[in-house]
């Protein structure tokens, strides 16, 4: 197999999940880092010459939606990854962005923001109270702001606007109570009444979908009474919802064409995305082509139901922009995400495996074995722990080519979905609640034991790697299970759960007690579960990378861990990126971070020099 430089694997043009068809269906708004930063672009449906609308180097565009007349786009952007998103309006033909909000220490989020007549926008903001997200309606002519819901900071409520009914009467709002508990509200703009469409007891996930064209109701996703998220329909006249599809996997998204004729949804089947469709005029299924092994990040349907725009990633291709013709079944790549010249045939597609853990559960994992011509076994292996923790390792081009480059150099990779991961039922997901550093650490230990059973794995060269929660898990593994690891890499991971829960963004604090614990009431538990408590046990060398502007896991988390290791005379390297936050947004910094990681692993785990 040909040898490639890491920069070739990392030479990607990434597409974020932000996509939207124009009201006439002729244009696709999207966000890509073609310039090195995530900026706003458009592309003609069916392919053509892309057009750039923003030229930010510091700002990162995060979301986009169109005005109903298609003459402008509303988008959000933050600065240097600080996640204080502001609202901007820009003309579809030309002009500089107009900044609509200027609360630079506040978050602003949009869904399908414009009322059907274009006179109002709805968004979410914590500008008035840092600890709570409020639903906001803005009159575009006068700038007057209306707040549909009174927020009680003592309760811990967060409201996120979703979309307007086709007649503009109702505003759909997601009331976020916790990661596994939400409600969908309808705010009646004519009467001021609020309808809770999903009243329930206990925890249940409810997530808004699309309205029907006649406004008789809307589709939604829920796991109410089930392990997995199904597809349901809320009928406004009956003020009740009923099931539409109940697969034994999570339905992740549903879209309905503006003309009401076509509905498409996708299902996460054991980590792989599958598309399904229905003709709403006949009720018959739509035959859709099977997607390659990979993960759908987002989709939008053309207003006439003829096409579907997709942000799709595969193990051998970074996120790319595709358009699926729903009539012919043809799938066209509108973008080109891989620009480094690496032959896809030289890359590795993972195998889905399962290994037993301490309580009899089988842990799903993606196993990447290096090709035989990269060198003689046994190979070093990286155990990669995903972030979240309520997220999922998927079969995709993870970490900007990090996996594929290591595979080309003779490393194997095991990427498990330890307890707390999404995609395997709500019972599995909630095992992580108030148990950080508990059961999932035992899953990590059993992952290491599983690797030791593989004849092609060098048990003396197993590294552990992760970012965010995966960084916490990495630090936990290194300090509490020190005998298994040859080295570790922590990206923006919390080290001290007491200081972590105190420093998270203010509007997270209402759910933090249930998710991780309370700094005062659960002090003993959080001390017991914090990696810094066991820092004296660390044996393996450690690389720590931190964004200085990280609002989720603040720099002090990494600072205190690194300081303690240095005091103990341990082997630690520390890099702080002054212009990034919880991860990277600039291409050059993404390459810098992961090149640092691969060179560190090569230095310690390979005899062959870096090159």
pLDDT for residue 422: 96
Backbone angles phi, psi at 246, to 5 degrees: -135, 70
Tell me if 33 sits within 8 A of 375, measured CB to CB.
Answer: no
Give just the sign of the alpha carbon dihedral 318, 66, 75, 512.
Answer: negative
pLDDT digits (tens, 9 = 90+) for 97-154: 999 999 999 999 999 999 999 999 999 999 998 888 999 999 999 999 999 998 766 6
Strands of 51-52's sheet in order across: 15-21, 27-32, 39-44, 51-52
pLDDT for residue 490: 97
Tell me if 181 sits within 8 A of 204, measured CB to CB.
Answer: yes
Question: Quick one: which of 516, 523, 377 has its CA closest to 454?
Answer: 377
Q: How many CB atoms lie within 10 A of CB 345?
A: 8
Strands of 134-139's sheet in order across: 108-114, 120-125, 134-139, 145-146
Tell me if 498 sits within 8 A of 523, measured CB to CB.
Answer: yes
The domain locations on the chain are 353-605
Q: Residue holding tokens 């995530």?
A: 38
Q: How many CB atoms lie within 10 A of CB 168?
A: 18
Question: Quick one: which of 84, 101, 109, 88 has its CA closest to 40?
Answer: 88
CA atoms within 13 A on the CB side of 154: 0
- List the structure tokens of 577: 């990126």
For residue 36, what are the contacts with CB-CB under 8 A and spacing of at least 6?
Answer: 57, 586, 587, 588
Using CB atoms within 10 Å of the CB of residue 246, give its burial: 0 to 12 exposed, 13 to 18 middle, 19+ buried.
Answer: middle
Could you check whether the bond before residue 389 is cis, i.e. omega within 30 degrees of 0? yes
Cα dihedral angle (350, 399, 33, 276), rounded to 10 degrees? Answer: 40
Question: Quick one: which of 63, 99, 108, 62 has its CA closest to 81?
Answer: 62
DSSP-H helix ranges across 481-610: 497-503, 509-515, 523-529, 555-567, 587-605
Question: Quick one: which of 150, 100, 153, 146 has its CA closest to 122?
Answer: 146
Helix 439-452 to helix 469-480 angle (10° resolution) is 70
Question: Quick one: which of 477, 529, 479, 474 has its CA closest to 500?
Answer: 529
Q: Which fold has domain 353-605?
A: Rossmann fold (3.40.50)
pLDDT for residue 68: 97
The H or E element spanning position 473 is helix 469-480
Rg (CA), the chain: 24
β strands within 445-495, DSSP E: 457-467, 487-491
Distance, in Å, from the CA atom of 290 to the CA atom of 282, rounded to the nearest integer, reads 22
Tell me if 474 sits within 8 A of 493, measured CB to CB.
Answer: yes
Distance, in Å, from the CA atom of 548 to the CA atom of 79, rounded to the nearest integer, reads 13
Distance, in Å, from the CA atom of 211 to the CA atom of 166, rounded to the nearest integer, reads 7
Whole-angstrom CA distances from 608 to 42, 246, 374, 409, 603 are: 45, 52, 12, 9, 8
Question: Quick one: which of 516, 500, 488 has its CA closest to 178?
Answer: 516
Q: Residue holding tokens 């930010």?
A: 56
DSSP-H helix ranges across 368-468: 402-408, 426-429, 439-452
Give just the sign of the alpha carbon dihedral 595, 600, 604, 610.
Answer: positive
Reported pTM: 0.91
Whole-angstrom CA distances from 173 to 79, 282, 478 are: 27, 30, 43
Tell me if 417 sits within 8 A of 350, measured CB to CB.
Answer: no
Using CB atoms within 10 Å of the CB of residue 19, give its burial: 0 to 12 exposed, 13 to 18 middle, 19+ buried.
Answer: buried
Tell me if 142 sits within 8 A of 149, measured CB to CB.
Answer: no
- List the structure tokens of 542: 């450690």
pLDDT for residue 496: 96
Distance, in Å, from the CA atom of 279 to the CA atom of 584, rounded to the nearest integer, reads 41
CA 252 to centroid of chain Cα atoms? 12
pLDDT for residue 156: 63
pLDDT digits (tens, 9 = 90+) for 232-253: 999 999 999 999 999 999 999 9
Tell me if 446 sits within 8 A of 399, measured CB to CB.
Answer: no
Backbone angles phi, psi at 429, to 5 degrees: -60, -45
Positions in the chain short of pLDDT 70: 1, 152-156, 373-376, 608-611
Reduce the DSSP state of residue 326 to 3 states and report it: coil
The H or E element spanning position 480 is helix 469-480
């Amino acid at each position: 197999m040909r040898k490639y430089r890491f920069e070739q694997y990392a030479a990607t043009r990434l597409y974020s999940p932000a996509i939207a068809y124009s009201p006439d269906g002729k244009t696709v708004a999207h966000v890509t880092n073609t310039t090195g930063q995530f900026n706003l672009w458009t592309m003609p449906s069916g392919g053509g010459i892309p057009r750039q609308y923003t030229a930010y180097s510091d700002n990162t565009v995060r979301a986009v939606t169109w005005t109903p007349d298609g003459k402008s786009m509303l988008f959000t952007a933050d600065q240097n990854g600080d996640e204080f998103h502001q609202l901007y309006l820009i003309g579809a033909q030309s002009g500089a962005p107009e900044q609509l909000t200027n609360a630079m220490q506040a978050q602003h989020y949009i869904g399908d923001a414009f009322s059907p007549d274009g006179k109002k926008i709805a968004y979410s903001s914590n500008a008035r109270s840092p600890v709570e997200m409020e639903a906001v309606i803005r009159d575009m002519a006068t700038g007057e702001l209306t707040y549909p819901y009174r927020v009680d900071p003592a309760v811990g409520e967060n409201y996120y606007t979703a979309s307007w009914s086709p007649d503009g009467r109702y505003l759909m709002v997601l009331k976020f109570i916790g990661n596994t508990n939400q409600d969908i509200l309808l705010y009646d703009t004519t009467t001021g009444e609020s309808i809770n469409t999903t009243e329930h007891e206990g925890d249940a996930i409810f997530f808004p979908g699309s309205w029907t064209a006649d406004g008789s109701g809307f589709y939604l996703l829920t796991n109410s009474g089930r392990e997995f998220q199904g597809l349901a329909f809320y009928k406004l006249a009956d003020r009740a919802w009923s099931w539409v599809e109940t697969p034994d996997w999570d339905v992740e998204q549903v879209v309905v064409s503006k003309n009401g004729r076509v509905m498409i949804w996708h299902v996460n089947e054991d980590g792989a995305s599958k598309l399904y469709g229905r003709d709403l005029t006949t009720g018959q299924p739509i035959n859709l082509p099977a997607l390659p092994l990979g993960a759908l990040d987002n989709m939008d349907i053309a207003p006439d139901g003829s096409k579907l725009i997709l942000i799709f990633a595969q193990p051998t291709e970074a996120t790319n922009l595709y358009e699926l013709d729903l009539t012919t079944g043809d799938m066209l790549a509108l973008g080109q995400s891989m620009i480094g010249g690496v032959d896809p045939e030289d890359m590795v597609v993972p195998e889905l495996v399962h290994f037993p853990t301490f309580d009899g559960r089988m842990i799903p994992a993606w196993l990447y074995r290096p090709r035989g011509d990269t060198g003689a076994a046994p190979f070093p292996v990286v155990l990669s722990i995903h972030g979240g923790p309520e997220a999922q390792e998927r079969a995709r081009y993870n970490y900007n080519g990090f996996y594929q480059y290591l595979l080309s150099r003779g490393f194997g990779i095991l990427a498990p979905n330890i307890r707390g991961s999404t995609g395997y039922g709500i019972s599995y997901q909630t095992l992580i609640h108030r148990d950080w550093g508990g059961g999932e650490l035992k899953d990590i230990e059993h992952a290491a034991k599983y690797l030791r059973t593989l004849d092609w794995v060098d048990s003396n060269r197993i590294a552990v790697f992760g970012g965010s929660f995966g960084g916490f898990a990495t630090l936990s593994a290194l300090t509490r299970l020190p005998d298994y690891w040859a080295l570790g890499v922590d990206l923006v991971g919390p080290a001290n759960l007491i200081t972590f829960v105190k420093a998270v963004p203010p509007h997270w604090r209402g759910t933090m007690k249930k998710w991780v614990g309370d700094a005062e009431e659960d002090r003993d538990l959080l001390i017991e579960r914090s990696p810094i408590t066991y820092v004296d046990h660390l044996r393996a060398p450690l690389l720590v990378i931190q964004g200085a502007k990280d609002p989720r896991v603040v720099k002090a988390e990494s600072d205190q861990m690194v300081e303690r290791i240095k005091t103990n005379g341990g082997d630690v390297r520390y890099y702080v990126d002054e212009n990034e936050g919880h991860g990277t947004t600039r291409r050059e910094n993404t390459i810098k971070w992961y090149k640092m990681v691969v060179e560190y692993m090569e230095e310690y785990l390979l005899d062959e020099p870096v090159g």
